Chains A and B, each alone.
Chain A
Amino acid sequence: MVKLKHIAKACKSKNAGPFHITLDIMFDKPALFEQVRETGVINAALIAQLYGVAETDILFTEYAPALAWKATLPRRIPSGAVGDTDVYGAQQHAPLLDIEIPLDIAA
């Protein structure tokens, strides 16, 4: 097992418009991306579970040209509305960091 934060190039979050957050998991080594892809661990169901949202509310895309996965989900609170804590949506990536990937790779 290896944690995603030890092998991915980036795990990040950002607004996709005022009502959605988009999460990107990105690699920079094609072979490693392919290995992780083959484990099938990164999918919409996992994101739904990590963020406690319905899987049907998630737009999930595997995007091989960028060695990346992308998941877009509704914000808890619209950007900048009363009670929002993260206007740019740039700090909602933490649950991705500890995703366990069943690969025998030194961290």
Chain B
Amino acid sequence: MTRKSVRMMSASGILGYGFPEASLQAALALKPDMIGVDGGSSDPGPHYLGSGKTLNSRLAMKRDLGLLLRGAIANGIPMMVGTCGGAGGTPHLAACADIIREVAAEHGLHFKMALIEAEQEKGFLLEELEAGHIKPLGNAPELRAADLEEAVRVVGMMGPEPYLEALRAGAQVILGGRGTDPAPWAALAMHHGLPPAPAWYAGKILECACNAAIPKKHDCLMVTVGEDYVETEPLNPELRCTPLSVAVQALHENASPIIRYEPGGVVDSSDCRIEALTDRRVRITGMRWTERPYTIKLEGARQAGFSAIAIAATRDPGLIGQLDSFMDFVRESTATKVKALGIATDDYQLVLRLYGRDGVMGAWEPQPDDAPTEVSIIAEVVATTQDIANAALSLARVTLLHSDFPGRMCREGNMAFPFSPSDIERGAIYEFMLQHVIEIDDPLRMFPIRYENV
């Protein structure tokens, strides 16, 4: 009995992380139904969504996209990229589209390309908020119109539907803005008529490619999806999928390994069976999909101010023994000096991070009293303008370097500085601001698709 199945490849954990060319060639030799890569994550923080910059370099993305594009066109299969450029906003999508056009021109390739926008207009969001369609997740506060006004950029995390639409329209290359990571692969499987449960499960395995294999490497993964199963195998003969390595991928970056909320439903893997078919191929069955009212998660960034930092360290045991009171003195003394410049208290904030003591974990540190032999201090000023940040930081820096403390022996300075200049402008900085979903009937409405013939 023949059953319907599709074969899909994911190149790497994130576009621009790289993958062995031999693995791509091995994938293409197996005649997959698509090749793709996810490009996004909120993990590196709010800077990328806020600034519009890409997470990985243009050079690295061009290398990966170039290989994938040439492979896809030569084999007549679709190529899809999820969450282009790291954050999936309009500038991130444009950066990837620009690379695709450049590679196509260099190699004389022609195809239909779809660009799926995920950035949301404030007017639309305000209307939806007014209509009561935007809801907080978990313990997030209710959203106010003023919050939306503050946003620099808001993206919606698309489901598979816009990819499906682009596939139906005959696009061979599909670049997506912000989306849920499994969306491109889930879409391809659904496009071939496969049910949501295995389609979504396959997407989840593929989103981080060989994160589901051992030993861990940035490498290509092949997954076969059938009506009621998913099979996975790495393309590099040095790597293996085992039931444990596949199960471990379910833990990755999720709140729960068994229940995953996606647009329009829930993937439940509590009754999955994960079995080894060979020593490097694994079969998963028993996943379930339960439909829910359609929601799209929103991701937003607002500007937190302008930042400047200085990195210093102390190796003085006398100072380390009284760091807390010394830091209090530095804060107070800096505040006095900054005030003398005519800068209002509300216009800046000094943050001192003491890496090497309890800096990484703060209040969660289980051993806060252990005395280190050296401590690194990162002084940061976040202010309403870069000039204020720079001015206040330079006063904090000199206060750190040249303030007395009881028993001071290091008369020439309290701090080691690794850099000249010691003060580093960080420019505009951002923070994440939305933990909300929007209830929307039409999965395509927030994600307009543009087509072009390259």
A binds B: yes
Which A residues fall within an 8 A CB radius of B? 14-20, 22, 24, 26, 28, 50-52, 57, 59, 61, 63, 65-68, 70, 72, 74, 76, 78-88, 91-92, 94-95, 98
Chain B residues lying within 8 Å of A22, measured Cβ to Cβ, are: 251, 253-255
Report the separation of the CA atoms of residues A79 and B433 in the bound assembly, to the nearest whole angstrom.
10
Interface size on B, residues (CB 8 A): 47
CB distance from A31 to the nearest CB of B (A): 14
Q: Please, which residue of chain A has its CB at the minimum distance from the CB of B256?
A: A61
The 10 closest A-B pairs by CB, nearest first: A80-B45, A66-B247, A18-B432, A65-B247, A72-B255, A81-B431, A63-B257, A87-B45, A95-B366, A80-B46
Nearest-neighbor residue (CB-CB) of B269 within chain A:
A65
Q: CA A17 – CA B261 in complex, angstroms?
A: 13
Query: Is B304 close to A, CB under 8 A?
Result: yes
Give a binary string over B116-159; 1 marks a CB under 8 Å from any A CB, 0 the rest.
00000000000000000000001110000000000000000000
Distance (Å) between the CB of A53 and the closest chain B CB? 9
Give the nearest-CB partner of B382 in chain A. A82
Binds A, one of B62-70, B199-207, B355-363: B355-363
Q: How far is the CA of A67 from the CA of B361 in the complex (A)?
A: 27
Chain A: which residue is nearest B435 at the CB level? A19
Q: How far is the CB of B295 from chain A (nearest CB, A)?
A: 15
Using CB atoms and an 8 Å cutoff, list the residues of chain B in contact with chain A.
42-47, 138-140, 243-244, 247-248, 250-258, 272, 274, 299, 304-305, 349, 351, 353, 355, 359-367, 380, 382, 429-432, 435
Contact check, B257 vs A95: say whether CB atoms are below 8 A apart: no
Given the complex of chains A and B, what is the CA–CA distance between A63 and B269 in angstroms?
10
Are A82 and B253 also in contact (CB < 8 A) when A15-B42, A28-B244, A52-B363 are? Answer: no
17 sample A-B contacts, Cβ–Cβ < 8 Å, listed by A number = A15-B42, A15-B43, A16-B255, A19-B435, A50-B366, A59-B256, A63-B250, A65-B247, A67-B247, A78-B432, A79-B42, A80-B44, A82-B349, A85-B360, A87-B44, A88-B43, A91-B361
Give the residue of A52, A80, A92, A94 whose beta carbon is less than 8 angstroms from that of B430: A80
Query: Is the CB–CB distance between A68 and B251 below 8 Å?
Result: yes
Determine how close the nearest CB of chain B comes to the CB of A15; give it in whole angstroms. 5
When distances are taken between beta carbons in the complex, the residues of chain B under 8 Å from A50 are 366
A80 CB contacts on chain B under 8 angstroms: 44-47, 430-432
Count of chain A to chain B residue pairs whose CB atoms are closer than 8 Å in the complex: 127
Residues of A within 8 A of B365 (CB): 94
**Chain B residue nearest in CB terms to A27:** B244
Given A65-B247, A67-B244, answer yes or no on A15-B253 (Cβ-Cβ < 8 Å).
yes
A87 CA to B55 CA, complexed, in Å: 14
B248 x A57 contact (CB < 8 A): no
Give the distance to chain B from A55, nearest Cβ to Cβ, in Å: 14
Given the interface contacts A19-B435, A68-B251, A94-B366, does A81 sit within 8 Å of B43 by beta carbon? no
Sample of 9 more A-B contacts, CB < 8 Å, known A16-B253, A67-B244: A18-B432, A18-B435, A63-B258, A72-B255, A78-B431, A79-B42, A81-B432, A86-B360, A98-B366
A74-B139, A79-B46, A80-B45 given; A92·B432 CB < 8 A: no
Q: Which residue of A52, A65, A74 has the most chain B CB atoms within 10 A of its CB atom?
A: A65
Q: Which residues of A contact B360 (CB under 8 A)?
A: 85-86, 91-92
Residue numbers in B under 8 Å from A57 (CB-CB): 139
Are B432 and A79 neighbours in the complex by a CB distance under 8 Å? yes
C-alpha spacing A100/B430, complex, angstroms: 40
Which residue among B139, B255, B304 has the maximum number of chain A CB atoms within 10 Å of its CB? B255
Q: Smallest distance from the beta carbon of A70 to chain B beta carbons, Å?
A: 6
- Return A34 CB to nearest CB of chain B, in Å: 14
Give the shortest distance, in Å, between B303 (CB) and chain A (any CB): 11
In the complex, what's the smallest C-beta–C-beta distance from B154 to chain A, in angstroms? 14
Cα A67 to Cα B47 in complex, Å, equals: 35
* Contact between chains at B46 and A70 (CB < 8 Å): no
A66 and B244 contact, CB distance less than 8 A: yes
Q: Are A63 and B251 in contact (CB under 8 A)?
A: yes
A29 to B108, CA, bound (A): 53
Closest to A60 in B: B256
Chain A contacts for B355, CB-based, 8 A: 85
Instruction: Output the least CB separation between A65 and chain B (Å).
Output: 4
